[in-house]
């Protein structure tokens, strides 16, 4: 149980710092990896009206994952500019045994409810910017 708590705490700290980590189920803490290549990132606020609908910031793109790993996109901090920018971090984790995982993998994340407007979205890894998306459109 202690190892699981350390693993979750390490991954959370790396996500807040814009880090790219490998979550290794056999170790007590995440192990930093080199940042993967990224491409085709998009971001928009889905503001479709309707009962129970809330604005949602949707970010997606592709990450070139190394063999034996899988990637995910994790929301990070929002800056205090007006309108604000939103950060996301790339996390790499060990893939399930037998899964074919190397190459370009689609990643997607969302924040709901989203703010009314964003200046930009920054996708990062270990303090390095992989993608900067601006302007952020609203889709109705």
Parse the chain into domains and list their residue ranges.
2-139
- Residue 27: the pLDDT is 44
The DSSP bridge pattern shows strands 85-94 and 21-23 to be parallel
Structure tokens at 12: 């959370």
Neighbouring CB atoms inside 10 A of 17's CB total 16
E-strand stretches of 47-127: 56-65, 69-78, 85-94, 103-111, 120-125
List per-block mean pLDDT (blocks of 10 residues) for the chain, which spans 140 residues: 42 45 48 80 95 95 91 95 96 81 92 96 94 95
Burial group, residue 61, by CB count within 10 angstroms (0-12, 13-18, 19+)? buried
pTM of the predicted model as reported, rounded to 2 decimal places: 0.75
Which residues contact residue 130 at a Cβ distance below 8 angstroms, ignoring those fewer than 6 apart? 35, 37, 38, 41, 90, 123, 124
Structure tokens at 136: 């952020």
- Residue 126: the pLDDT is 84
- Residue 51: the pLDDT is 92
- Residue 94: the pLDDT is 84
């Amino acid at each position: 149980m202690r190892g699981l708590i350390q693993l979750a705490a390490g991954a959370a700290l790396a996500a807040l710092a814009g880090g790219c980590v490998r979550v290794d189920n056999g170790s007590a803490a995440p192990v930093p990896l080199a940042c993967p290549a990224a491409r085709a990132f998009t971001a928009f606020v889905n503001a479709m009206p309707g009962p129970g609908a809330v604005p949602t910031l949707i970010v997606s793109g592709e990450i070139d994952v190394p063999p034996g790993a899988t990637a995910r996109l994790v929301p990070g901090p929002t800056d205090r500019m007006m309108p604000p920018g939103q950060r996301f971090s790339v996390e790499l984790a060990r893939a399930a045994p037998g899964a074919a995982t190397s190459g370009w993998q689609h990643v997607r994340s969302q924040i709901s409810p989203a703010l009314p407007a964003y200046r930009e979205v920054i996708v990062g890894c270990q303090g390095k910017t992989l993608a900067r998306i601006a302007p952020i459109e609203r889709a109705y």
